[in-house]
């Protein structure tokens, strides 16, 4: 079973985030466990300033290099079941810098 699927296996419903699916499955079908919204957790409140700082770097890279960096959209990180994390933001920045480096090396 795909842990990251965005549909319910028990009724014809689709979701925008894994979190929404898990909430639905728990509320409607009693499957799994109550999952706090990623943005409502104590953990998220702790890491939010770091997420914000890394998001600023991500946006600066987007402005400096534009399509060269082809950054993962901030929305894409919302699809991650844990929400945006400092690690997911850092990974997006590193991947973008690697794409810029590849383009520069090929030039
Ligand atoms: Zn369902």
What predicted TM-score, i.e. pTM, was given to this entire model?
0.60
Distance in Å, CA 27 to ligand 1 centroid: 9
Distance in Å, CA 5 to ligand 1 centroid: 12
Q: What is the tens place of the pLDDT at every residue in 6-51?
A: 999 999 999 888 888 988 999 999 998 887 777 777 878 888 899 8
| Residues with CB in 5 Å of ion ligand 1 | 8, 10-11, 28
Q: What is the tens place of the pLDDT at every residue in 44-97?
A: 888 889 988 998 998 899 899 888 877 766 666 655 656 678 888 898 889 889
Distance in Å, CA 28 to ligand 1 centroid: 6
Rounded distance, CA 43 to CA 8, Å? 27
Confidence (pLDDT) at 98: 92
More confidently predicted of 103 and 17: 103
User: What φ, ψ does residue 2 adopt, rounded to 5°?
Assistant: -80, 115
């Amino acid at each position: 079973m795909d842990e990251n699927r965005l549909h319910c296996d028990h009724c014809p419903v689709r979701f925008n985030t894994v979190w929404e699916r898990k909430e639905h499955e728990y509320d409607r079908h009693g499957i799994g466990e109550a999952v706090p919204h990623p943005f409502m957790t104590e953990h998220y409140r702790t890491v939010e300033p770091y997420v914000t700082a890394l998001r600023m770097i991500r946006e600066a890279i987007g402005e400096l290099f534009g399509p060269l960096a082809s950054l993962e959209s901030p929305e894409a990180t919302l699809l991650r079941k844990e929400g945006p994390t400092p690690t997911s933001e850092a990974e997006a920045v590193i991947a973008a810098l690697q794409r810029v480096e590849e383009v520069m090396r090929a030039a």
